[in-house]
Amino acid sequence: MQQKTARPVQFELLPDARASLLAWLERRGGTVDDYVFPSRVDRNGHLSTRQYARLVDEWVTGVGLVRSEYGTHSLRRTKASIIYRATGNLRAVQILLGHSKIENTVRYLGIDVEDALALAENTEN
C-alpha cells in the first residue's frame, strides 16, 4: 500500500524472486496470505519501516558499501530510474511507483527538459 495515499501499488516478481519468497514462506510456516516479513512485536502485523531501514543498513554495511549512500528510498528511486532510462515509459514508472499525478513522477525522477527533448527526438510518428 502506498503510505501517503493508502492505495495499492502493483509490482512484478520475477520467477527467481517468487521462488525465493515461496521457499521463505514455507520455511517459516507462512502462507501467501501472510506478510512476507512479519513484525517482531505484533504477530499479526508486518515489519516496520524502521526495522526495514535497519536491515538495509546492515546489508549495505555487510557488503562493504557506505551506509550514507544507500537507503530504502534510494533503492526505490534507483529501480524506478533504471526502468525509465531503459524504456522511456514514464506512465509505466508512474504506475509502478503508485503516483497519482504524472508531474510527481517527473519531479521524483528528476526529468528535465533535455531528457524530454531526447525522448521526443527518438520517438517516431
- pTM for this predicted structure: 0.61
**Distance between CA atoms of residues 21 and 78, nearest Å:** 22
SS3 assignment, position 38: strand
SS3 assignment, position 104: helix
**Distance between CA atoms of residues 66 and 42, nearest Å:** 32
What rounded mean pLDDT belongs to the chain? 83
Q: Which residue has the cell 504477530?
A: 43
Alpha carbon 96 to its chain's center: 8
What is the per-residue pLDDT across 78-122, written as a single tens digit (0 to 9) for each?
Answer: 888 999 989 988 888 888 888 888 888 888 888 876 776 666 566
More confident residue, 41 or 64: 64
